[in-house]
Amino acid sequence: MEGKAFFIDTTLCIGCRACQIACKQWNQLPATKTENRGGFQNPADLSFYTYKLVRFFEQRGDDGKPVWYFFPDQCRHCLEPPCKEIPEDPDAIMIDQLTGAVLYTDKLKKENSQDVRDSCPYDIPRAENGTGYMAKCTMCVDRVHNGLLPACVKVCPTGAMNFGDYDAMVKLANRRLEEVGEKHPKAKLIGVEDTRVFWLLADKPEKYFDYAKSLIKPRGIDRKTALKKIARPLKELSREWQMLKGLAG
């Protein structure tokens, strides 16, 4: 398969949300006002200003101890995107030649925004209040075209976020599925057949969004090390932003 893909290994995710912050930083998106909803996921949902959201919830495992569910959510960059079928103008939503990324353009009319959102099987794209303009993950094509990793992948301290050639990501995903088999016998890959974002889940997919009994435990990284691993790439993102946007200007 041509193009690129993400592989998100949730068995390695520690819910640090560095990927979420890096996405905001690179795309120069404003912070979202949040409130205490009794959990640690913040903000509550994706929005016009939040393209990437680490969904998480605290639950009790079979042994009665608290366990975490983490699901870094974003546009799947579907191989045959249903959202692209909605606008009459075929150029309103483009497929990037190099990567296969699904990209929204300013030709996307606000009248289409509800239908575009409704067409997405994963409820990803969001319209801006008042304008109807739509936004979602861009696969950081501006970075990828310049040989850089997507911002979320660059900052992930555990190796949960991966990005590369589609076939290489499929290979990596299958290798990891095998590796975690003993620890997570119900582990499963989702998204490989029809999208450019695949996840390794430790349990049945429906258990993630239902916040059921999946046991996803982070693999040995302490808070201090994680913070250290996040700080440098976040600083580098600023430098890269100046470099690429400066070049474009």
How remote is the C-alpha of 47 from its chain's centroid? 13
Rounded alpha-carbon distances, angstroms, from residue 200 to 33, 144, 186, 216: 31, 23, 11, 11
Q: Is 23 in the site for ligand SF4 (CB under 6 A)?
A: no
Segment interacting with ligand SF4 (CB under 6 A) among 10-18, 39-47, 138-146, 180-188: 10-18
* Residue 189 bridge partners (DSSP): 200
Q: Is 18 in the site for ligand SF4 (CB under 6 A)?
A: yes
List the beta strands (DSSP E) in 168-228. 188-190, 197-201
Residue 86 as a binder of ligand SF4 (CB under 6 A): the answer is no
Helix (H, G, I), strand (E, B) or coil at 189: strand
Cβ contacts of residue 131 below 8 Å, gap of 6+? 110
β-partners of residue 127 are 134
Report in angstroms how near the CB of residue 246 gets to ligand SF4 at its nearest. Answer: 27
Using the rule CB under 6 A, which residue among 5, 6, 16, 87 binds ligand SF4?
16
Is 126 one of the binding residues for ligand SF4 (CB under 6 A)? no
Q: Which of 34, 37, 82, 227 binds ligand SF4 (CB under 6 A)?
A: 82
Note whether 76 binds ligand SF4 by CB under 6 A.
yes
| CA 150 and chain centroid, separation | 10
**Shortest Cβ distance from residue 209 to ligand SF4 (Å)?**
15
Binding site for ligand SF4 (CB under 6 A): 13-19, 54, 70, 72, 75-78, 81-83, 102, 120, 122, 124-125, 136, 155-156, 158, 160-161
